[in-house]
Amino acid sequence: MTAREIALDLLNRRMRSRQLADELLDERLAVARLSPADRALATELFYGCLRQKLALEFVVEKLAPKSPRPLVGNLLKLGLYQLLFLDKIPPHAAVHETVALAKRQASPAEAKFVNAVLRNAQQSRVSIDAAPPWTRCSHPRWLWERWVAHFGLEQTRTLCEWNNLPPPLYIRRNTLRAGQPPGEPTRFHPLAYRVREAAGLFDSPAWVAGAFYIQDPSTLVAVDVLDPQPGESVLDVCAAPGGKTTYIAQKMENRGRIIAADSSSARLRLVGENCRRLGAEIVATLACGGTRLNRCLRGDRFDRVLVDAPCSNTGVMRRRPDLRWRLEEREITRLAAVQTQLLQAAAEFVRPGGVLVYSTCSLEPEENERVVERFRQDHPGFARETTRSLFPPRDGVDGVFVARLRNG
């Protein structure tokens, strides 16, 4: 199958599946025989059509005299995405390849329909300027309006444009293992490197040797704020898949004790695998949800506790192109309640004078500042020492929120 056939297959599968877009893509590419260039094209087409869903549907509605069936609609989105959003593909090639694909996948009449709509788009140079702003930026209206109320119009537009771009690939250099990581050093963090070419990355000697871990630089902030020291005891409440856990061990120089807890045994296995590859020897995993830790760690206290809470992930929407279409506004309220429970439960395990760090990859105040405010009202003995927020377009990395509190 070609890259375009695989992208179409993925768009069709996503309509029938509850799997996440990245899971569908990984499964499909694992069995596809594609060159690195074609793998990149299939990824760009699939993710791009998801990101620009609203804008593409707007164009289809304007150009198509009738509403097509889902398969044909996905063919049109595939062709229109290439025409309207990909400069590197010549317009004639975008039309020709999509029509050829339609001839193999749809009826002759539907293939003619696809050809007519795409040629109309090519000749008329259809514009989405007349669409509502959330449609032009291809984000749900409720999310657009929420962000405009919080960030203002210009920052919201910039954020949505950021989310519609393919994300760069970053790695963290692991100082517990020898070896030079691939990529270019970044200004954001001395351990963060940007990788331009991902082909063969997971087969490289440096990967096998544990010289690096795939990780956006923004995720290092929570551990830097936690500031674990060699010889201390640390509890990582929501540890899987282990990126922050192994970085904690790295900062502690493999001296001390780390308990990596998570409610999912399957995801804890990933923590164990990552610890072994990266040489994080002071980590013990614990299959236990954050709100039930008192049953597993009775009377135990730690120098530092990290709560990297499950959240809406609106700060990493660029990396999860289908997230904006799955997330509902009411989920933010539900998550804020869960986050508050986790933070309150974790506070019991902070020794007097110890540090509690709360972090999310959300941009929503209900999940960030308000959770910390509510916690402090119920726990006046914890003093807030610092908070840090990263806004993706401004800081050039994923969005995160981090708050550091001290017990007494």
Q: Given this model, what pLDDT does residue 59 score?
A: 95
Q: Given this model, what pLDDT does residue 66 score?
A: 87
pLDDT at 200 over 90: no
Q: Given this model, what pLDDT does residue 127 score?
A: 79
Residues 38 and 149 in one domain: no
Residues 40 and 141 in one domain: no
Could you tell me the residue range of the domain that residue 119 belongs to? 3-125
Residues 159 and 21 in one domain: no
pLDDT at 126 over 80: no
Instruction: Burial-class residue 87 by CB neighbours within 10 Å (0-12, 13-18, 19+).
Output: exposed
pLDDT at 125 over 80: no
Give the whole-number percent of the chain exceeding pLDDT 90: 89
Q: Given this model, what pLDDT does residue 130 score?
A: 86
Residues 251 and 355 in one domain: yes
Rg, Å, the chain Cα set:
23
Higher pLDDT, 298 or 138: 138
Residues 159 and 107 in one domain: no
Q: Given this model, what pLDDT does residue 385 score?
A: 97
Residues 194 and 305 in one domain: yes
Domain count along the chain: 3
Catalytically annotated residue among 49, 275, 288, 361: 361
Given 163, 180, 214, the domain boundary residue is: 163
pLDDT at 298 over 90: no
Q: Given this model, what pLDDT does residue 129 score?
A: 85
pLDDT at 339 over 80: yes
Q: Given this model, what pLDDT does residue 290 score?
A: 87
Residues 44 and 155 in one domain: no
pLDDT at 123 over 90: no
φ, ψ (nearest 5 deg) of residue 215: -165, 130
Six-digit token string for 72: 């044909």
Q: Given this model, what pLDDT does residue 197 score?
A: 86
Residues 315 and 197 in one domain: yes
How confident is the model over 98-118, as a mean pLDDT?
Answer: 96
How confident is the model over 3-16, as a mean pLDDT?
Answer: 96
> For residue 207, what are the contacts with CB-CB under 8 A and spacing of at least 6?
201
Q: What is the CATH number of the domain that holds 21?
A: 1.10.940.10
Residue 259 pairs with which residues in a beta bridge? 235, 284
Q: What is d(CA 113, CA 107) in angstroms, rounded to the nearest whole number? A: 10
Residues 313 and 227 in one domain: yes
Q: What is the CATH number of the domain that holds 393?
A: 3.40.50.150
Mean of the per-residue pLDDT values of the chain: 95
pLDDT at 299 over 90: no
Residues 253 and 156 in one domain: no
Q: Given this model, what pLDDT does residue 1 score?
A: 87
> For residue 308, what are the contacts with CB-CB under 8 A and spacing of at least 6?
222, 236, 237, 238, 239, 244, 359, 360
Q: Given this model, what pLDDT does residue 216 score?
A: 96
Higher pLDDT, 406 or 294: 406
Q: What is d(CA 271, CA 197) in angstroms, rounded to the nearest whole number? A: 26
Given 163, 180, 212, the domain boundary residue is: 163
DSSP code at position 8: H
Give per-residue pLDDT as tens, 356-376: 999 999 999 999 999 999 999
Q: Given this model, what pLDDT does residue 276 score?
A: 97
**Residues 164, 170, 176: CA angle, nearest 5 degrees:** 160
Give per-residue pLDDT as tens, 41-82: 999 999 999 999 999 999 999 999 888 999 999 999 999 999
* Known active-site residue 361: yes
How confident is the model over 21-33, as a mean pLDDT?
Answer: 94
Residues 96 and 149 in one domain: no
Q: Given this model, what pLDDT does residue 35 score?
A: 92
Residues 302 and 380 in one domain: yes
If we measure between CA atoms, which residue out of 383, 378, 328 comes closest to residue 353? 383
pLDDT at 128 over 90: no
Residue 74 pairs with which residues in a beta bridge? none
Q: Given this model, what pLDDT does residue 301 score?
A: 96
Q: What is d(CA 309, CA 339) in angstroms, rounded to the nearest whole number? A: 6
Give per-residue pLDDT as tens, 262-293: 998 889 999 999 999 999 999 999 999 888 89
